[in-house]
Structure 1
Amino acid sequence: MACSWPPYCLPLLTLHLLLSTSPVFSDPQDPARLLKFRTSLTNIELLSNWNLDIPPCVGASPNWNGMICNKDGSVFGLQLENMGLSGTIDMDTLAEVTSIRTLSFMNNSFEGSVPNVLKIGSLHGIFLSYNKFSGEVGDDAFKGMDSLRKIELGNNNLTGKIPTSVKELPILVDLQLQNNQFEGEIPDLEQKDLKVNFANNRLDGSIPKGLRNQDPSSFAGNNLCGKPLRSCKKKLSKKMIIIIAVASSLAVLALIMALFVCRNRQKRKMDYKNHQVTKTTNRKNTYKTNNEIQMNTKQVANYKRSDNGGKLHFLRTDRDPFELEDLLRASADVLGSGSFGSSYKAMLAGRAPVVVKRFKEMSNVGKDDFQAHMRFLGSLSHPNLLPLLAFYYKKDEKLLVTDYAENGSLASHLHVKRKPDEPGLDWATRLKIIKGVARGLDYLYQEFPRLSLPHGHLKSSNVLLDDDFNPLLSDYALVPVINKDHAQHLMVAYKSPEFTQHGRTTKKTDVWCLGILILEMLTGKFPANYLEQGKGGKPDLGTWVNSVVREEWTGEVFDKEMKGTKNGEGEMLKLLKIGMCCCEWDIGRRFEIREAVEKIEELKEREDEEEYSSYVSEGDAYSSKAMEDDNFSFSVTN
């Protein structure tokens, strides 16, 4: 099945050209103001079509990249996401464009303080997540912004207290502050229908009454208490503290007096006394040793009291088994906190390190069904699957133990800032990785023929790399055991068009995830739609790629850090096309898993010299010819 241009595209294009001949724009000075704003930015290659020859908007249709337009041709907002932008956000100049109501600079490289959004007091939404903003946000940062509905500042390096001015925003419905370093207490927020995310900060105290209906995951990684988390311990009154202090003093005094009486009564010979001192010293040493053992015992006591009786179920016959106590007493490093819970690297004596993942939201099935599913996962064997070594069952907590991948995740190689002399992944390595990912996913489809989501959470952070950069899929086939609400809130499959628009998944949903992963790996851009919760999220990466290549195929879409591409451009374009056909919005036109795997397997690291030379000789036709090979074509159907 091949994707193709829909027949209605040409009439739409003609209509677009006709409209562009009679532009409507509310303020003739706004284009110049926007160009002035652009001068404050760096890395503006994706804003190259901003020029005075064409208006930013024609009616509700944008001409300039990143514009959101009103029907009257005025600029409603800027959506400058995933563009690698840095520099300064010139709020003074933007404030002169009086029609602006929303600003999004998500997933760029802006640094320094959060821009002063008060200069545009009529904003409806401000989206600054996934940048490098730091420092404190002023307490009055949002004072008087009565039209503000959404604030997203997650995944930066912000410090200090959460500004109390957010309490005064009457129609605020979304507040995203996760993965920063905010501290102190959460302001008493009582806005109706408000959704928040304060996960992974340094907050403490009790959760305000108005937020007790939020998902517990919104408060994870802090020192908070109260509903929906554990109850807060009651603080002692001043009177009770005084009583305890007096009682403690009296007890100490009584102990001193008792010791004095005992000492006067005990008169022994010197040799016996020396002998007794030796025994006392030995007893002290013994007590210290036993106390250390008891501390370690307490560390595992909660696990031993579980429904599992403290048993770690080992699943692999090709590895030497170990016990739960061995695992919990091993030295460990915290790897991070993902969608499901925390991960630790445990170093057991005389063994290769393993990874332990703690899952809180994994009670969708009962104990027997859970154990049966884990045993089946443990029986899977494929070169591109991360083996499940063992599991531990507790009603409110599960542990899954896997191998440790030395080269980390694909996401870390694509998106974590590297040292100046550290190379990025070259084309040959990326092709090797995506072939392994496709093979592993195909194997899951074969092993789980009745599951609509054989993987369910395929993304770059769940593609791990071994010593030779062979990919290993992780967190696969967990949809049956993950709590439904948690799965739909966080798992990648539920970001697909069919679920966000129609509330359903299909056997082709994991193929959509594969397509987005291919585009992410080729472009080096993070899929911003993964960050959106629920319906009406940001356009997916496939939509962005379509918008870039709709007019002409160029190498600008590819990650600039992808080296070693000589004679490989045609194959890269073929893989890009495969990715686009995998994430087609129209499910009927989307590739089946077998079709996607077969197309990927046909790719080579580079073309033959003769084929490459013929492409080059055709000049601008090179890209088009590469895309037409094997009758490939694509559509823009979203």
Structure 2
Amino acid sequence: MHPMQVRCLSLYIIMVPLVCLLLLFSTATHGLSDSEAILNIKKSLVVGQAKALASWDAKTPPCTWPGVLCNSGSVWGLQIENLELSGSIDIEALSGLTSLRTLSFRNNKFGGPFPEFKKLAALKSLYLSNNQFEGDIPDNAFEGMAWLKKVHLAQNKFTGQIPTSVTKLPKLLELRLDGNQFTGQIPEFGHELHLINLSNNALTGPIPESLSMMDPKVFEGNKGLCGKPLETECDSPFKELPPQPAIRPKSSSRDPLVIKIIVTVLAILIFLGVIIVLINRNYRNKQLTLAVETGPSSLQKKTGIRDADQRRRGRHKSDHRNGSATATGVENTKLSFLREDREKFDLQDLLKASAEILGSGCFGASYKAVLSSGQLMVVKRFKQMNNAGRDEFQEHMKRLGRLRHHNLLPIVAYYYRKEEKLLVCDFAERGSLAVNLHSNQSLGNPSLDWPTRLKIVKGVARGLLYLQHDLPSLMAPHGHLKSSNVLLTKAFEPLLTDYGLIPLINQEKAQVHMAAYRSPEYLQHQRITKKTDVWQLGILILEILTGKFPANFSQGSEEDLASWVNLGFHGEWAPNLFDKEMGKTSHCEGKILKLLRIGLSCCEPDVEKRLDIIEAVEKIEELREQEGDDDDFYSTYVSETDGRSSKGVSSESINLT
């Protein structure tokens, strides 16, 4: 036999067993059933509580085990919390759960280094807060986890720098690293986050520009941080230059006399400087409406509007000297009021008001401003509102200002600048529906029960119907309906915000950020319709009933919220489908199921089959908390066809005010 043939045959004899062994190992790791994989995970855990996980038994299906979350028979989540667990987390066993999307080991006693979770590339949520993990997290710890949206690592003992791989996650929405020992500078994030908390670490250096609009509380406990939104200014790099050696002059008998002269001159200059400052301050107090003694207000610091106006005033003074002052420049510094039934205040009153940031959205930040009169207002700052010129913008704002409905948050006033706009609205006591749905428990507030949720759905539907009636020329009169744009009064009455803005927002930004452009008709056909707002209403109904945040799903794909509900809903009551925070629902399960069906009908991908807004409102209004309950929404109109009270809904018969 030829030598070459001998070598090939030898190589073949060696490789075949190796390949077989690799295949067997792969099958042993990934060919396990979900129950076998979970039982392997259990073996690696040290259980602190007696009988905890005792029901994890091969005799019963895993979807019946506590802490195991399933969908259509497949395990998509493990929620093993508050069990005093320690030991190791078996990543290889976890990788055998091919449908695993969420993993929570919160409030346990796991320690040691950060596990190799990057092997779970399909993971969407990772909760490890309140454990005893320690050491540096490798810089590449999150590489390849393109679906990861939530990372909670708070209250551990992690050290070292924040891994840059977490800042590059394309879908990241929430990041909690508070209560650790992270050091170094905060890295720049590739996109805007819904939630971030870096408090109580040992971070240093300037806060990145992308995080400068966040609440200062998320940076508390890091003494070395500086820059906005903190009050601490960053030192100039020039202060770090090494001091130059001093040149000592030769001693002279005249030194004491020279020193006396210098001290006297300096004292005179300081005295004159103080006099000039006092005169200048007195002059400015007479000329400006803002008192200098109070210093720049919180809202001025946060928005920078005052600085822009001062620059503008400087330009106008220059124009005056050149004989070219314009009336337009003066108008730019005034608030334009849309409501005659509200107390008037000027821009300076607003800017010097103490302010608190409420949130940072896709178009800008919102602030709660407390005027000197005690009046509470919300100021929303928009930087992407240049789709319309000045005249067109002002005309559209007047149109929105004429709207009157108790489920719309009125726009009280606005401030126009070419670069950005401010919209001034009333303050809603209970904040947004999103906070009340998804953060109440963490904030220690009571959850929304079923009657309150039904009340909110009815109010939202009525507000949408009114918008469609009074803004008929707009294809999607609201255009940006989501839980964060629904505010709640003290009595849990919903107020719609950010409505009617599609004509004003820059189109490229609108298509990226506004809810209307995530509808099936836009994703498939690049258009929105009169029923696009109905689709948004349907998604909101499903969010209210399930407690699931729509942003955690990929809109328009097979994993959006509507399709997830469709997969789990089989025409009858399914406890795992509904938000457990609703409390007792045994007496109203039928009504909840009816509302769920209405929500799914509103989310019908085929626009022709989808309910229109009048049909949706009619079906929602038929739901009563108790039999015989009346609703004054219908009591104000009578059918003129036969003179009897009517339950039929039409655009003519409904009282929209």
For Structure 1 versus Structure 2, the TM-score category normalised by the shorter chain is 0.5 to 0.7
User: Which whole-Å CA distance do the structure 2 matches of 1:557 and 1:178 have between them?
Assistant: 23
Between stretches 539-548 and 501-510, larger displacement belongs to: 501-510
When residues 261 and 503 of structure 1 are mapped into structure 2, their CA distance, relative to the original with a 3 A threshold, is closer
Instruction: Tell whether the 8 Å contact from 1:122 to 1:146 is kept in structure 2 after alignment.
Output: no
CA displacement at 1:333 relative to structure 2: 2.5
1:585-614 CA-to-partner distances (Å, cap 9, x unmatched) read: 3322211111101111121112369xxxxx
Q: Residue 343 of structure 1 aligns to which amino acid in structure 2? A: S
Match of 1:363 in 2: 386
Larger radius of gyration: 2
Alignment partner, residue 102 of structure 2 = 105
Q: Which residue of 1 aligns with 2:309?
A: 303
Corresponding residue number in structure 2 for 1:174 = 170
Aligned residue among 17, 30, 36 for 1:32: 36
Q: Residues 422-448 of structure 1, C-alpha deviation per residue, up to 9 Å, x if partnerless?
A: 643333222222111101011111222
Amino acid paired to 1:302: A
1:295-314 deviation line (CA, Å, top 9, x unaligned): 76865242355665311111
- List per-residue Cα deviations over 1:214-257 (Å, max 9, x = no partner): xx8688649999xxxxxx99843866x747999xxxxxx99984
State the shift of 1:324 in Å. Answer: 0.3
SS of structure 2 residue aligned to 1:408? coil
Structure 1 pair 420–302 and aligned structure 2 pair: CA distance change class (3 A): closer
Please say if 1:519 is aligned against 2:542.
Answer: yes
Task: Quote how far apart the aligned CAs of 1:512 are.
Answer: 1.4
Tell me the residue number matched to 2:606: 586
Deviations 1:29-64 (A, max 9, x none): 65322256489899xxxxx999767799xxxxxx98
Given the superposition, is the C-alpha separation of residues 154 and 288 from structure 1 closer, same or farther in structure 2, using an over 3 Å criterion?
Answer: farther
* Pairing 1:407-418 to 2, within 5 Å after superposition: 407-418=430-441
- 1:488 shift after superposition: 3.1
Could you say if the C-alpha distance between residues 532 and 543 of structure 1 is closer, same or farther in structure 2, counting changes exceeding 3 Å? closer
Question: In 2, Cα distance between the equivalents of 1:255 and 1:485?
Answer: 68
Percent of pairs with identical residues: 38
How far 1:387 moved relative to its partner?
A: 0.3
1:541 aligns with 2:561: yes
Moved more, 437-446 or 125-134: 125-134
Residue identity in the other structure for 2:439: V
Quote how far apart the aligned CAs of 1:398 are. 1.5
1:315–1:390 Cα contact (<8 Å) kept: yes
User: Are 1:606 and 2:626 counterparts?
Assistant: yes
Give the SS at the match of 2:620: helix
The residue that corresponds to 1:80 in the other structure is 77
Q: Structure 1 residues 344 and 166 mapped into 2: Cα distance closer, same or farther (>3 Å)?
A: closer
C-alpha displacement at 1:483, in angstroms?
2.8
Question: 1: CA distance between counterparts of 2:478 and 2:377?
Answer: 22
Give the corresponding residue for 1:74.
none
- For the 8 Å contact 2:71–2:568, the answer to whether it is kept is no
The answer to whether the 8 Å contact 1:33/1:94 transfers is no
Residue aligned with 1:596, SS: helix
In structure 2, what is the equivalent of residue 95 of structure 1? 92
| Alignment equivalent of 1:65, drawn from 70, 86, 95 | 70
Aligned length: 523
Q: Which string of whole-angstrom CA distances, capped at 9 and with x for unpartnered residues, describes residues 60-89 of structure 1?
A: xxx9825898xxxxxxxx6439x8977679
Distance in 2, matches of 1:154 and 1:26, equals 25
CA distance in 1, matches of 2:459, 2:575: 25
Secondary structure at the counterpart of residue 141 of structure 1: coil
Structure 2 CA distance, aligned partners of 1:37 and 1:388?
55
Q: 1:553-605 CA distances to partner (integer Å, 9 max, x unpaired)?
A: 34553333335756433222221211111112332221111110111112111
Distance 1:254 1:53, change over 3 A: farther
Match of residue 384 from structure 1: 407
Q: Is the 8 A contact 1:489 1:534 kept in 2?
A: no
Question: What is the distance in 2 between the residues matched to 1:255 and 1:384?
Answer: 75
Contact 1:428 1:564 in 2 (8 A): no
* Shift in alpha-carbon separation, 1:489–1:136, aligned structure 2, 3 A: farther
AA aligned to 1:176 is L
Which residue number in structure 1 is paired with residue 238 of structure 2? 236
> What whole-Å deviation, never above 9, does each CA across 1:187-210 have from its counterpart, x for those lacking one?
699xxxxx65568566887999xx
Structure-to-structure mapping, 1:331-410, within 5 angstroms? 331-410=354-433
Q: Can you give the 5+ residue segments of structure 1 that lack an aligned partner in the other structure?
A: 1-23, 43-47, 57-62, 70-77, 190-194, 209-215, 226-231, 247-252, 265-276, 610-629, 631-638
Structure 2: distance between partners of 1:153 and 1:597: 35
> Which structure is higher in RCO with an 8 Å CA cutoff and minimum separation 6?
1
- The equivalent residue for 1:316 is 339
8 Å CA contact 2:358, 2:366 repeated in 1: yes
Paired amino acid for 1:572: I
Q: Distance in 2 between matches of 1:503 and 1:373?
A: 25
Task: Give the 5 Å matches for 1:93-492.
Answer: 93-96=90-93, 99=96, 103-105=100-102, 110-111=106-107, 118-119=115-116, 122-128=119-125, 139-141=136-138, 143=140, 148-153=145-150, 157=154, 163-164=162-163, 166=165, 174=170, 176=172, 180=176, 184-185=184-185, 196-197=191-192, 221=214, 235-236=237-238, 242=243, 257-260=261-264, 293-294=291-292, 299=300, 300-303=306-309, 305=311, 309-418=332-441, 423-492=446-515
Q: For structure 1, which segment, 512-521 or 305-314, has the greater mean C-alpha deviation from structure 2 after superposition?
A: 305-314
Q: CA separation in 2, counterparts of 1:605 and 1:310?
A: 50
CA pair 332-133 structure 1, distance change in 2 beyond 3 A: same
Query: Residues 137 and 162 of structure 2 are in contact (CA less than 8 Å); yes or no, is this contact kept in structure 1?
Result: yes
Distance 1:378 1:25, change over 3 A: same
1:120 shift after superposition: 5.5
What residue number does 2:551 align with? 530
List gaps (5 residues or longer) in structure 2: 1-27, 50-54, 220-224, 228-233, 248-256, 286-290, 301-305, 313-328, 630-647, 649-657
Q: For structure 1, which segment, 538-547 or 443-452, has the greater mean C-alpha deviation from structure 2 after superposition? A: 538-547
Shift of 1:99: 4.7
**How many Å separate the matches in 2 of 1:452 and 1:173?**
35
- Inter-partner Cα distance in structure 2 for 1:244 and 1:357: 53
**Contact kept? 1:514, 1:579, Cα under 8 Å:** yes
Question: Which letter maps to 1:174?
Answer: P
Aligned partner of residue 80 in structure 1, secondary structure: strand
Amino acid at match of 2:531: K
RMSD of the TM alignment (CA)?
5.1
For the residue of structure 2 that corresponds to 1:458, the secondary structure is: coil
Q: 1:94 to 1:258 in 2, by over 3 A?
A: closer
Give 3-state SS (helix, strand or coil) of 1:587's partner. coil
Aligned residue identity for 2:36:
A
Quote how far apart the aligned CAs of 1:403 are. Answer: 0.5
Q: Distance in 1 between matches of 2:555 and 2:141?
A: 29
Are the structure 2 counterparts of residues 104 and 290 from structure 1 closer, same or farther at C-alpha, using a change threshold of 3 Å? Answer: farther
Indicate conservation of the 8 Å contact 1:150/1:175, yes or no: yes
